[in-house]
Amino acid sequence: MMRRWACAVAILLAACKNGPSEDQCKELLDHLVDLEFKKAGAAATTDAQKQEIARQKTALVEAKTTEFIDTCKDKTAKSRVECALAASDLDTGVAKCDENK
């Protein structure tokens, strides 16, 4: 999971003067975490499972927020953030954002 996480961050790195806002970066982090859990097959059928998945997502976001937001705002093109936010999966969606430099 961490390897794919690192790949997702690496895909989004690019120097840019007109970078994304902090809110866009926070939204992107949440979106990438959701896509990662989706890819990992994290589906919940019971309330307890839903709560556990939500707890895990929150923990991951909290652990990565500061570093991710700083990198996103300072080194990521706004167009890549917008592209990744529109993606519906990591492999064919977010990965294509890097191809469209």
pTM attached to this predicted model: 0.73
C-alpha separations of 91 from 12, 17, 69, 97 in Å: 13, 27, 22, 10
Task: Tell me the pLDDT of the chain averaged across its residues.
Answer: 82
User: What is the reported pLDDT for 53?
Assistant: 85
Task: Parse the chain into domains and list their residue ranges.
Answer: 26-99
Do the beta carbons of residue 85 and residue 31 sit within 8 Å? yes
Per-residue confidence band for 14, with pLDDT thresholds at 50, 70 and 90: very low
Per-residue confidence band for 86, with pLDDT thresholds at 50, 70 and 90: very high
Model pLDDT for residues 23-42, shown as the tens digit of each residue: 999 999 999 998 988 887 77
